[in-house]
Structure 1
Amino acid sequence: MSQELQLFNFEKAPVRVVSIDGEPWFVAKDVAEVLGYAKPRNAIASHCKGALIRGVLTAGGMQETTLIPERDLYRLVMKSQLPAAERFEEWVVGEVLPSIRKTGGYSVTCHAPQIPQSLPEALRLAADLAEQNNHLQLVVAEQAPKVRALEVLTETDGAICITAAAKQVGMRPSALFQWMHENRWIYRRAGSSRWLAYQPRLEQGVLVHKLTELGIDDDTGQKKVAEQVLVTRKGLARLGEKLAGRVA
Structure 2
Amino acid sequence: MNTKLLEKTEFHSFHWDNFSPEILQAHKKVMSYFGLNVKYTQKNIPHGQWLDEIMASASADVIAIIEPDLIPLNLEIVLNAIEYVTKNDTFLGCAQVSNHIGTGAHIFASPSFFFITKNCYEKLGRPSFMPNKQGDVAEILSYTAESKGITYRTLFPTRFEKAPSEGCWALGSYGYYGIGTVFADQVYHLFQSRHAKNIELFVKRCNELLNNQLDISSFTLCTDFQTPENIYKSEKKSNWYTKLLKKIKAF
- Structure 2-normalised TM-score? 0.20
In our comparison, the structure showing a higher alpha carbon Rg is 1
- Structure 1-normalised TM-score? 0.21
